[in-house]
Amino acid sequence: MKKISLIGSLLKRIYRVYSSELLTSLQQRGFTDLRPSFLEVLLFICENDGPSIKQIGSGCGLKKQTMTSHLNELEKRGYVERKINPQDKREQNIFLTEYGERFKFNLFDCISDIESNYSSIVGEVELDRVEHLLKNFHSKLNNASKDQLNLNL
């Protein structure tokens, strides 16, 4: 197997384990109506106060159609609400509801527990090293992609 295929496969497997653990922890705390695909969107909203739909899509790497579908579901389930941006009436910003704020507290608590567990398994230094390596790899790939786009113009 080529290196990049193996790296991609390992990252996907690690993410699946993490996502499954996070979803299970949240379900044990009463948030039983979530799908794995909602977690990344909700995490972005929890970390960024009142982002636009475009910002969420860009931050999560999702297409507008997928974003709209996820946000409709999350709004129906009571996690988020849309508000018109006062500076640009064409834009909507997404905010957590009161229920969403309770979810945010539990989400961050669950993530902290999982991180502590992973740290005890691989060690704090190793976890920091992996984080740094992946951020660097991601940044270089993004910069290379932008350079490629500029060359094609």
Q: What confidence tens digit (pLDDT) does each residue in 106-138 have?
A: 999 999 999 999 999 999 999 999 999 999 998
* pLDDT for position 151: 56
Higher pLDDT, 147 or 40: 40
- Does residue 143 have a pLDDT over 60? yes
CA dihedral 102→107→113→115, nearest 10 degrees, is -150
Q: What confidence tens digit (pLDDT) does each residue in 86-105 have?
A: 888 888 999 999 999 999 99
Predicted structure pTM score: 0.85
94 and 58 in a common domain: yes
Q: State how many domains the chain has.
A: 2
Higher pLDDT, 79 or 143: 79
Share of the chain above pLDDT 70, in %: 95
- Domain that residue 78 falls in: 3-122
137 and 99 in a common domain: no
Provide φ and ψ at 70, rounded to 5°. Answer: -60, -45
97 and 36 in a common domain: yes
Q: Which of 9, 79, 2 is nearest to 39 (CA)?
A: 79
142 and 78 in a common domain: no
* pLDDT for position 34: 93
134 and 110 in a common domain: no
- Does residue 152 have a pLDDT over 60? no
Q: 128: Cβ–Cβ under 8 A, 6 or more apart, which residues?
A: none
Q: What is the CATH number of the domain that holds 87?
A: 1.10.10.10
- Kindly write down the DSSP assignment for every residue of 105-125, as one continuous string: HHHHHHHHHHHHHHHHHH-HH
Q: Tokens 């499954």 identify what position?
A: 20
